[in-house]
Amino acid sequence: MDDYRDVNRRWWDEAAPVHAASPDYGLARFEDPSYLSHVVRFDLPRLGDVRGLEGVHLQCHIGTDTVSLARLGARMVGLDFSEPALDSARRLAAHTSAEVTFVAGDLYDAPKLLGRDRFDLVYTGIGALNWLPDVRRWAQVVADLLRPGGRLFMREGHPVLSTLDDERTDGLLALEYPYFGRDEPLVFEEDGTYVATDHVFANTVTHEWNHGLGEIVTALLAAGMELTMLEEHDSVPWDALPGQMVEDAEGEWRLSDRPGRLPHTYTLQARRPS
């Protein structure tokens, strides 16, 4: 079997230009110098003042959130393993005059590539952890990147949402996939992506993992981090259960029927002690 990184990178290399061209990512909206991605806008009340902070966006994809954080005044570096994603991200940053550096590399190599004890802010999420087999190693990467006193800020798809069968058409929520992390990947074969597109994918296989909320928090504590916020939300910024969700004016999706039944996403903050 191919290494999970090669399988997933092939998928992301093909998806990145499709995402960059899609109305869902809406890169043209960045022409307005005050525009922020809706992912960053959602968390503004929790994010606080990031002006002057040295920040890194892990798994930055096409840079929409990275550029938004730079617009809020952070000095940002974005890291991703997909060169086509970074090509788009660099074009977006150049076009918007955002001062962002983008670095290609695997998540687990980030401290080696970017430097240890360096950042005031590690920002990540929105479909990042599910590509990583080992959440303990991920948490150690976060701790290693942060300077003492620095903080992790992430909003991520809730692991309960990731257990649900997203192909049901009868409106029932069915627990189909494992909640807890496992060594073996969940192997998915799909011919689309999470944005609306006519593109016919040549690469259709992905290898992914779910990580329980307790496993994520425990991994951060084991890496020496202190948990400072854990807030669960009844919305998610993509159409996670097609046919069962409605979108609001802010680009957030909720179960159309009783969204309070399901934790859709969470925002977590943790601090490396000084």
Ligand X SMILES: C[S@@+](CC[C@H](N)C(=O)[O-])C[C@H]1O[C@@H](n2cnc3c(N)ncnc32)[C@H](O)[C@@H]1O
The residue (of 160 and 240) whose beta carbon lies closer to ligand X is: 240
* Residues composing the chain: 274
Interaction between residue 85 and ligand X (CB under 6 A): yes
Q: Does 255 bind ligand X (CB under 6 A)?
A: no
Q: Rule CB under 6 A: say whether 65 interacts with ligand X.
A: yes
* Per CB under 6 A, 210 contacts ligand X: no
Regarding 206 and contact with ligand X (CB under 6 A), the answer is no
Of 9 and 148, the one with the shorter C-beta distance to ligand X is 9
CB of 128 to ligand X, least distance (A): 5
Give whichever of 39 and 217 is closer to ligand X, judged by the CB atom. Answer: 39
With respect to ligand X, which residue has the nearer C-beta, 12 or 119?
12
Q: Cα–chain-centroid distance for residue 82?
A: 14
Q: Which helix (H) or strand (E) holds 77?
A: strand 75-80
Give the span between the Cα atoms of 136 and 148, in whole angstroms.
19
Task: Return the axis-axis angle of helices 83-95 and 64-71, rounded to nearest 10°.
Answer: 30
Is residue 12 within 8 A of residue 81, CB to CB? The reply is yes
Cβ neighbors of 269 (< 8 A, separation 6 or more) are: 46, 151, 152, 153, 154, 227, 228, 229, 230
Nearer to ligand X, 53 or 141 (CB): 141
Give me 187's structure tokens: 């192997």
Shortest distance, position 255 Cβ to ligand X, whole Å = 21
Residue nearest to ligand X (CB): 127
Q: Report the C-alpha gap between 61 and 210 in whole angstroms.
A: 20
Residue whose CB is less far from ligand X, 137 or 258? 137
15-34 mask for ligand X (x: CB under 6 A)? --------------------
In angstroms, the CA 118 to CA 200 distance is: 41
From 27, 77, 80, 216, residue interacting with ligand X (rule: CB under 6 A):
80
144 contributes a contact to ligand X by CB under 6 A = no
126 interacts with ligand X by CB under 6 A = yes
Q: Which is nearer to ligand X, 127 or 149 (CB)?
A: 127
- Euclidean distance between CA atoms 135 and 122, whole angstroms: 15
Q: How many helices (H) and strands (E) does the chain have?
A: 9, 11
- Interface with ligand X by CB under 6 A: which residues? 5, 8, 12, 59, 61-62, 64-65, 80-82, 85, 106-107, 126-128, 131
